[in-house]
Structures are given as C-alpha cells and as structure tokens.
Amino acid sequence: MTDSYSATIFADGTAHLVSPDGVHELDGTGVEGARQIVVERLIRAARAAGEPLLAITTDPDGRYDLRVHPSGEIDVLEPDAADPAPQAVSVPVPAAAPAASVVPAPSSDAPQPPAAVAVVEAPRPQRDDPRTSSAPAPVRTEPTPAEPVAAAPAPAPPARSEAAVVRTAPVETPAPRRSLRETSFLVAEPAPQVATRGLRGLLAKAGLRVEPSPAEQAERADINTVSQHWPGKRTVAVVNRKGGANKTPTVACLAAVFARYGGAGVVAWDNNESQGTLGWRTVQGPHSSTVLDVLRDSDVLLSPSAESARLAAYLHHQPEDRYDVLRSDEDDQGDHEIAGNEVDVAHSVLARYYRLIIMDSGNTSRAQNWRRMIDLTQQLVVPATTMEDRAEAARLTLETLSRRDEHSARLAERAVVVISQWKADDRSEAERLADGFRPFVREVVTVPFDPALKAGVIRYDALQAATQRAWLAAAAAVARGL
C-alpha cells in the first residue's frame, strides 16, 4: 500500500491535494468539478505506484476515507468500532457461483422420529380345514422404535409369530391450499437508495452502489414531507408586527417549495389591510385584479356552476414556481380596508379551489383582517431577520398571541420561526437568535444571506443552493405542523 493522500474540497470549487511530493492547489467548476479532478488525480497516482493508495477527502458533505486502485475502482472505507482496520463497503465484485449444498449425515445421538407401523393379522383358518382346527388366535404386535445407526451390526430381531410387522414411510400431510387473495407478486421491500450528490454520487455514477450521505437522506426526507397532500384545505399565516421582517419573501419561498414538490393547489394571499408588497415581489398576470375583485364576484366564484379556470382572471400565476398570488388592494387613491367578514368570504373562495393557502399579513395585530386570519390558521410562521428590532418584534408577536385566546396560544406554541441573515457575515447572529427562540416554539430554521431575496421579483431558481436547501427545511418544518 502506498503512502496516504488527503484532499480538501471547498464550496467555491477549489481544492488542496496533499501527496507525498507536496501540496497541489486545484481549481474546478464548482464542488462537483473539484471532486472529479481530485478523483482523477488519485487514480493516476495509484496507477503510477502500481498498487492501491489510501486517501482522506473532506468536502462540504463531510469526510470520506477511500482506497483507490490502479484499475480505477474506489472503495469507500468505514472505520469499525471493534476493529481499527477500516472495512470496504460497496465493492463491486463478480458474482460467484453458489456453493454446493451439503447435508450432514444424521448423528446417532440425535433423536429419530418413530417409524410408522402397520399391523397385519395372520389369515383366518377355514372351519372345514382340519389342519387349522387348533390354530391360535390372531396376535397383534407392538410397534418398535426406529433402529439406531451404529458401527456394530444390529442384533437379530427375535422370532415373530405369523403376525408380520411392516414398516412404511411417514405419511406427509399435504399443505393447505392458499387463496389467491393471500398471494402477491409485488415486491414488498423498497428499492435500495443510491447516492446522487457529492462524492458519493460521483462514485455511484461510476458503477459503485453507494448509499446517500446523511445530508442527502435528510434532504430526501424533507422533500417527501412537503410533497404530501392533506385531506382538506390548510391555511398558513406568516406574521410579524414589524415591517421589513422578511414576511413577503417568506411567503413567496414557502409557496414555491410546496408548489414545486407537492404539485398544484397552492396560493399566496396578501392579506394586508390596505396595500401590501407581495404583488410587487411576484410575477403579474395579464390583468390587475386584486382581492377586491374576488370579493365583488364572490357569488359567481362560489356558485355550483363555477369552474376553476375562472380564477385566472383574478389571480396571478407564477409560471416558474407554479403557485398563484392573490394581491391586496393596490389603488393608491382608495381607502378600503379589508374587514373580518371579507376575510371569511375571500378565504371561502380560495379554499374551494386550493389545498394550501399561505397568507401574508400587515403590521397591525389589532386590525380585523389580521385577527380573523389567525382564527382561520392551522400553522403559524413568524419570520425575522438578524436585525435585533425585527427579532424583538417577532417575540412580541408571539407573546401577544399567547395571551389572546386558546387557539392563538396553541398557534404560538407550535409556531415555526424563520431567521434570515440580513448580511452575509450574520451567521453567528442568526444562530444566537435561533437559540433564543427554540425553547418557546416548535421549530426554528435559519436562512443564509442571498442577494436574490433583497429586491425585485422572487424566483426560486435564482436562489443559491444553500438558500434553497434552507427554505426546503423551513417548508418541511411547516408541513410537520399541518
């Protein structure tokens, strides 16, 4: 075995490869490109040495111990707690012929099953035959146990009468006939999972059966959680009494995740009492309809003959992210404030056509539409940023709800708090605030800084990979409460 190698792959696509002849700085196209370059270098080194080499690689997905063969095959090694020597897993080997079955001879000490015994009576004599006038009565013999297997010959059996003992093979009882209803040809076991991400995914593409990393398994679990449908509509309210707390981006990102993975039937509703910003941060349809138009035509939209296609004239579809938006009133000259009973009407319309309603909100917790929104909610989401006043407003919002009534208190206790980094270097501050909220709510998720969320139309594909993963985790946290 040659000397060990080590490689560190960074998130920006660069890598450091430490070999016996020095340190090599490598540059790839992203993390995947850097992994490919490192693997190719290790294979070349093994071929040059003419024997396998050991390598320790570290990348954003974790650490991997590898044995690289000159043939290009790579073993993923896992340390065994009982044996300090690593063990190779998922090594491709040719299929071997099955070994011949060997059946051991029965031991003389093992108990033998009793032999089946048939008792045969001697023929009855005829009354007219004088030779049989004094014949004895038929004799019934007792069954004898099976003869043991021994090295010495068995003693000769004692003389028998005319009654003969005949040994027969045990009679096998036929198995009961199964019903077709009890039979299935479907495979009950799920198909084994294969890695698709990171270095494990690269090895899987090369033909090795490598399981997903814990990070990839967690991501798949979150996708499965947000993909589910519920028996009946669900309503999520996104609230914070302070403006600029990231409410609108939270609504847009959650709606995009649920729609992308769970299919159609997701609507984002700007329930600001007057003019909100959700319409400004999302794609506008070929009209300018708002919630006021839905309220005006609610009788038609709720009629038995109404069709879902009618909603295209009132809601704004997001082509890339697959959810719809109901805008708030955007008339600068208007003075209409949404009342509590109007929230009921608009909610009835949306609940008829959508399985999931995610509501944006204003900043006034005393407003009628705000309070009625809470009454209709099954899951509360409280966003905040790493700016202290936004986090403090989130705390006060939860406190207000915890004292309002039983339903609101339950929502506050089971809330999901989402802390978004206001600046790129706010990671430690985000974790500090998250730790402060965790004892009081069900789950807390932190979201990294992303310039695509700062301004303009929010599109999920424009977010960085780490940001998308964080919003998937946030949506899964919300789904667990539905």
Q: What is the pLDDT of residue 95?
A: 39
Those residues with Cβ within 8 angstroms of residue 346's Cβ, 6 or more apart along the chain or in another chain = 269, 291, 294, 295, 298, 326
Residue 141 resides in a domain: no
Q: Give 81-133 pLDDT, tens digit per residue.
A: 333 444 443 333 333 333 333 334 444 444 444 443 333 344 444 444 444 44
Domain membership of residue 442 as a residue range = 221-479
- Report strand pairing: 5-9 vs 62-68: unpaired
Q: Are residues 467 and 327 in the same domain?
A: yes
Cβ atoms of 397 and 365 within 8 Å: the answer is yes
For residue 353, the domain's CATH number is 3.40.50.300
pLDDT band at 394 (very low <50, low <70, confident <90, very high): very high
What pTM value is reported for the model? 0.68
pLDDT greater than 90 at residue 376:
yes
Q: Are residues 84 and 225 in the same domain?
A: no
What DSSP designation does 51 have?
S
Residue 407 resides in a domain: yes
- Report strand pairing: 234-238 vs 356-361: parallel
Residue at a domain's end among 66, 89, 112: 89
Q: Are residues 78 and 227 in the same domain?
A: no
Q: Are residues 308 and 457 in the same domain?
A: yes
pLDDT greater than 90 at residue 287:
yes
Those residues with Cβ within 8 angstroms of residue 393's Cβ, 6 or more apart along the chain or in another chain = 240, 241, 242, 245, 384
Q: Which of 194-203, 220-229, 336-345, 422-431 has the lowest mean pLDDT?
A: 194-203
Q: Give 435-475 pLDDT, tens digit per residue.
A: 999 999 999 999 999 999 999 999 999 999 999 999 999 99
Structure tokens that stand for 345 in this block = 């009407």
Residue 393 resides in a domain: yes
The distance from CA 279 to its chain's CA centroid, rounded to whole angstroms, is 33
Cα→Cα distances 215→62, 172, 278, 431, Å: 9, 55, 33, 19
Question: Looking at 308-399, which runs of residues are DSSP E strands?
Answer: 316-317, 324-326, 356-361, 379-385
Residue at a domain's end among 58, 89, 120: 89
Residue at a domain's end among 59, 89, 119: 89
Q: Which residues pair with 62 in a beta bridge?
A: 59
Cβ atoms of 443 and 480 within 8 Å: the answer is yes
Residue 394 resides in a domain: yes
Residue 284 exposed, middle or buried by CB count within 10 Å (0-12, 13-18, 19+): middle
Tokens 């996104």, located at residue: 238
Buried b (16+ CB within 10 A) or exposed e, 396-409: ebbeebbeeeeebe
Residue 468 resides in a domain: yes
Residue 216 resides in a domain: no
Q: At what angle do helices 198-205 and 214-227 cross, to 10 degrees?
A: 90
Domain count, the chain: 2
What DSSP designation does 320 have?
T
Residue 241 resides in a domain: yes
What DSSP designation does 74 have?
E
Cβ atoms of 25 and 32 within 8 Å: the answer is no
Q: Are residues 258 and 400 in the same domain?
A: yes
Helix H or strand E segment including 65: strand 62-68
The distance from CA 287 to its chain's CA centroid, rounded to whole angstroms, is 39
Residue 197 resides in a domain: no
Cβ atoms of 254 and 463 within 8 Å: the answer is no
List alpha helices for 263-297, DSSP H.
291-296
